[in-house]
Chain A
């Protein structure tokens, strides 16, 4: 079963003369262990697609399905629960809470979901270890570098049973080495069985995905699957 499925999704903002058609009949599915990048110029619908996938916005027509649940058929609280439990978000502005430590930031979504702090804590520590930040549990965001904060944000996005990670320009302000480390981490999470969607305007980052979708004016104009052997490519180019 696909972790994420968009079925003929349209999204219009405004009405009449000011109507903007942000997405026009987009269909995408993302399987477990699959990493999909979405590229396109500003205004092509990339962020709209991500917001719809994450249940932060609703389509005008069409369906968004996350792990078998049609988002539009869920109650408000059902949707909120699904967002908390199943979907992880990584944004350019990290949205870490400055007054909470790294471990508390990661444990927060679990505790909001009703898990006792003493149960959430070990999960948060394990998540920190997975992003190579053992020993950072008690640090506050302003005591960490940008790259470390982004790793905390990724750990938070994937703590617990989350199977879908949505990333919007997650390497935004990071230097190229740190940015690459973040992508390696997302890639590793996806290889371990999650499904990932990355919105980016950087081709070098999109290249970490299995599939790159090109959006133009709300329509998918092409998809690159990167199939083929690079060794072969190198021989041809030499």
Chain B
């Protein structure tokens, strides 16, 4: 997602100025994505340049409200209608780390898994505590999303652990005498 679409969605409800946009954005997403006011203004400037929002005359207090344009509404409609592509998400460092741990000599993979599991569990407990304290539906759904992601990671870690138990590392050239390795590679028998 981009901040652009977040701001467009908020402006669809009515005109707002920068500070209001920032506050609403954080309220709706439960501060999972804190914005600084500079980001809000630079995004508004680009949206205005692209014809998606329009700046209105300043209030007496010096605040300049913005409103969404028809082009902005069209852009927003496309965003809501388009699924988020998985390829747009960052690569999973944890998966890469575990894959490398298995083949790196001297790494205790089981302990890498357990360390991560405790950490992810702690994260899950903390999200759940926020939920327990009571939250409005939009924020609750954001929290649920984080909870389900953490849960999926824990399930995957369980799966990794179970797979590790059955894993027999393939013999590599470094593990066997060179002559024997050479035989295996060429398929010859002594």
Q: Within residues 67 to 89 of chain A, which ones have a CB less than 8 A from any CB in chain B? A: none
Pick out which of these stretches binds chain A: B62-70, B101-109, B113-121, B176-184: B113-121
* Cα of A206 to Cα of B125 in the assembled complex, Å: 8
Residues of A within 8 A of B147 (CB): 204, 207
The size of the chain B interface, using a CB distance under 8 A, is: 28
Which of B31, B122, B132 meets A224, CB within 8 Å? B122
Which of A212, A233, A235, A237 meets B121, CB within 8 Å? A212
B142 CB, nearest partner CB in chain A, Å? 10
Asked if residues A238 and B126 are in contact (CB atoms below 8 Å), the reply is no
Closest to B121 in A: A224
B123 close to chain A: CB less than 8 A: yes
A226 touching B31 in the complex, CB below 8 Å, given contacts A41-B158, A204-B148, A233-B123: no
Residues of B within 8 A of A210 (CB): 125
Asked if residues B122 and A228 are in contact (CB atoms below 8 Å), the reply is yes
Residues of A within 8 A of B34 (CB): 234-235, 238
Residues of A within 8 A of B130 (CB): 230
Most interface-central of B124, B125, B127, B147 (chain A CB within 10 A): B125
Which of A41, A204, A214, A225 meets B122, CB within 8 Å? A225
* Cα of A224 to Cα of B128 in the assembled complex, Å: 14
Pick out which of these stretches binds chain A: B14-22, B41-49, B77-85, B149-157: B149-157
B23 close to chain A: CB less than 8 A: no
Q: Within residues 1 to 59 of chain B, which ones have a CB less than 8 A from any CB in chain A? A: 30-34
A227 close to chain B: CB less than 8 A: yes
A204 touching B126 in the complex, CB below 8 Å, given contacts A41-B162, A224-B118, A237-B32: no
| Chain A interfacial positions (CB closer than 8 Å to B) | 41, 184, 187, 202-204, 206-210, 212, 214, 221-231, 233-235, 237-238
| Chain B interfacial positions (CB closer than 8 Å to A) | 30-34, 114, 117-119, 121-130, 132, 147-148, 150-151, 154-155, 158, 162
